[in-house]
Amino acid sequence: MRWLRTVAFLAVVLLVLAGCGSQTQTEESSRDKGFGIISAPASPPERSLEQPRPLADGSFASAEQKLIRTAEIALDVENIDDALAEARRAASVAGGYASQLNISGADGERFAWLTLRVPVIKLEQVLAEIEVVGKRTSLSIGDQDVTLQYVDLEARIRNAERQEARLLEILGSAKTVEEILRVEQELARVRGQLESLTAEFRYLSDQVDFSTISVSLKETPTASPSITVSGLRGVWQRGLAGLINSVNAMLTGLGNGLVFLFAAFPYLLLLVGVAVPTAIVARKILVKKSRKTDAPSS
């Protein structure tokens, strides 16, 4: 009798999982026909997944379009430190933050690359505020439509949540240790899948809610809209550095020339050993010819 009860219990579990799979196919079929799921609220960390609300004709409301917006802007600025501070301030006021910063080069000739994350509704505003810190050389804005991926994740998460709830009900009615272990094993698998889908959904939601701005800065005095003396800043240090570079380049060239002479010395000796006797012989021949030509005829 015990094995009959175990068989009956496993049959119930299989029927439950089959029902969940059927619901998943129904949701996917609805998406293929152009129907979607109501999107989640705007705050990714606390996002709650709403159930789709049917319309009067029994169909589901279309999903709101989800876009990942990115922008790249390049500027020539008079002072990189001031420009970076202003760019970060603009992002912070808009509710965003700076995620990455790289600076290279020496004073007066520095380059900086800054990555900002700002709310998507403030993208144009932040770009306008960043643009005034220098002379814009390039600007590009791109959109990536992720609506289908967004809706698919929502549906898969809801399905996993239903599976988890039903497995918990079955676990509560389990009678034997074997039954409990089997259900707990399946429950662990479903929960792992649910955690993975939720993490992916939150990441995608963050990409939708926050735009990424890549800011490229080049430090140059010509970026100023008025006449300034910033081009003379550090002239002594830059001049001394230029002198040192020139002397080093001259010494390097002299050293390379000496190395070439040492390397070519055997070939030069061989050339002299061949050229000198040849020149002597040629000179003797020319002298004899000239004497014959100058001798009086008898």
Provide the CATH number for the domain around residue 75: 3.30.70
CA distance 25 to 35: 14
pLDDT bin (cut points 50, 70, 90) of residue 46 is very low
Task: Judge whether 298 lies within some domain.
Answer: no
CA distance 98 to 113: 11
Return the exposure string of 75-113: e unless at least 16 CB atoms fall within 10 Å of the residue's CB, then b: bbbbbbeebbebbbebbeebebebeeeeeeeeebebebe
Residue given tokens 């998507």 in the structure block: 120
Residue 28 predicted with pLDDT over 90: no
Task: Judge whether 2 lies within some domain.
Answer: no
> β-pairing, 67-77 with 135-145?
antiparallel
Number of domains present in the structure of the chain: 2
Q: What is the pLDDT of residues 142-197, one digit of tens each?
A: 999 999 999 999 999 999 999 999 999 988 888 888 888 998 999 999 999 999 99
- Residues 82 and 97 grouped into a single domain: yes
Q: Which domain holds residue 178?
A: 9-37+146-205
Residue 87 predicted with pLDDT over 50: yes
Q: What is the pLDDT of residues 230-267, one digit of tens each?
A: 555 556 666 777 778 888 888 888 888 888 888 887 88
Write down which residue in 223, 256, 282 finishes a domain: 223
- Residues 191 and 97 grouped into a single domain: no
pLDDT, position 275:
79
pLDDT, position 162:
95
pLDDT, position 253:
85
pLDDT bin (cut points 50, 70, 90) of residue 63 is low
pLDDT, position 31:
40
Residue 112 predicted with pLDDT over 90: yes
- Residues 106 and 165 grouped into a single domain: no
CA distance 139 to 127: 9
3 state SS for 180-234: HHHHHHHHHHHHHHHHHHHHHHHHHHHHHHEEEEEEEEEECHHHCCCCCCHHHCC
Task: Judge whether 271 lies within some domain.
Answer: no
- Residues 97 and 216 grouped into a single domain: yes
Q: What is the pLDDT of residues 188-235, one digit of tens each?
A: 999 999 999 999 999 999 999 999 999 999 998 755 555 555 555 556
- Residues 134 and 150 grouped into a single domain: no
- Residues 216 and 117 grouped into a single domain: yes
